[in-house]
Amino acid sequence: MTDTELSQNAGDETQLLQPIKEYKVPTVPLNLPKGGFGGYRAEPVEELVAQLRRQLDNEKQRVLQLKKENYALSTEKGRLNQRITALTDENKTLKYAAENPYERIGVDMQDMVNSAKNERKNMLDQAREQAEEILAEANGQKKTIVETAHKEAAAAIAESVARKQRIDHDADQRIGESKDKAERVIAEASAKADAILSEAKEKAETLDADSKARCEAADRRESEVAATVTQAHRMLAEAASRLVQPAPMIVTIHGKTETDDDEETVEDEQ
């Protein structure tokens, strides 16, 4: 197999992982028409609540999309493991050919053995590079997910605080009115503030749980990819140590050709 063919096969079996784009939660201004006694009209408030629920549904869809992307990363890891297994099998075949250069006659066979060694080295280098690239990209995705989660949580908390402050300010401006009327206005404003604050807190808790789940998924992907890289390095070291071993001596016993490795095997069996 030539370097060009190896590059083409590697390209067919490996997909480039695209980083997750930063997601920003849209800010909905609290622009509601006022009703009697400084309160808000019921229909705009219900419409705002429905809009917040739609935003919550969008967040759930985004969590589902992140789970799909996590599954794609796991699938990619499986393909890489299969690739490493195939390279290991081919490495054994090439090692056997390199340790038995005298089975064929002529300088051409020795040249073929040397070519096989070079090709094996190129394939192992390419597998190591692919594993390092996937590990680096996984680290980048983890950082992006954590930063996005912090921004979303901060924006949700700031929006809830601003809404409560606006409602409290509107209530304070009407304190000079009659006691009964003021009590009704304050009661209505407080009820609406508590409802809006409760919605905002639920959204913040959902976002916080989502960020923790994504961080844990990213940590798992990082550990899995790191384990794959470690395994690839270990196999590369084992392959290199086998190459430096001397060629076994060839002896003839009872009309059959055997090597030093065969004699050691016979002694072990005895």
CA dist., res. 64 & res. 209, Å (int) = 14
More confident residue, 10 or 27: 27
Residue 219 domain boundaries: 3-269
> For the chain, what is the radius of gyration of the CA atoms?
34
- 149 CB-near residues (< 8 Å, 6+ apart): 207, 208, 210, 211, 214, 215
Mean pLDDT of 139-146: 75
Euclidean distance between the first and the last CA atom of the chain, given in angstroms as a whole number: 41
Instruction: Give the whole-angstrom CA distance, residue 249 versus residue 259.
Output: 5
* Helix %, strand %, coil % of the chain (to 5): 80, 5, 15
> What is d(CA 256, CA 250) in angstroms, rounded to the nearest whole number?
10
Nearest alpha-carbon partner for 168 in 181, 195, 186: 186
Residue 18 has pLDDT above 80, yes or no: no
* Residue 165, pLDDT score: 80
**pLDDT above 60: residue 52:** yes
CA 34 to CA 20: how far, in whole Å?
42
Q: Does residue 119 have a pLDDT over 80?
A: yes
Q: What is the largest CA-CA distance in the chain?
A: 120
| pLDDT score for 160 | 75
> Helix crossing, 107-172 with 42-99: angle to 10°?
170
Tell whether the model's pLDDT for residue 143 goes beyond 70.
yes
Reported confidence tier of residue 90, pLDDT bands at 50, 70, 90: confident
Q: How many domains does the chain have?
A: 1
Per-residue pLDDT tens over the stretch 200-236: 777 777 877 777 788 888 888 888 888 888 888 888 8
Residue 14 tokens read as 């490996």
**248, 260 contact by CB (below 8 A):** yes
Q: Are 168 and 193 in contact (CB under 8 A)?
A: yes
Distance of CA 196 to the CA centre of its chain: 35
Length of the chain: 270
Predicted TM-score (pTM) of the model is 0.24
In this structure, of 47-56, 141-150, 221-230, the range with the lowest mean pLDDT score is 141-150
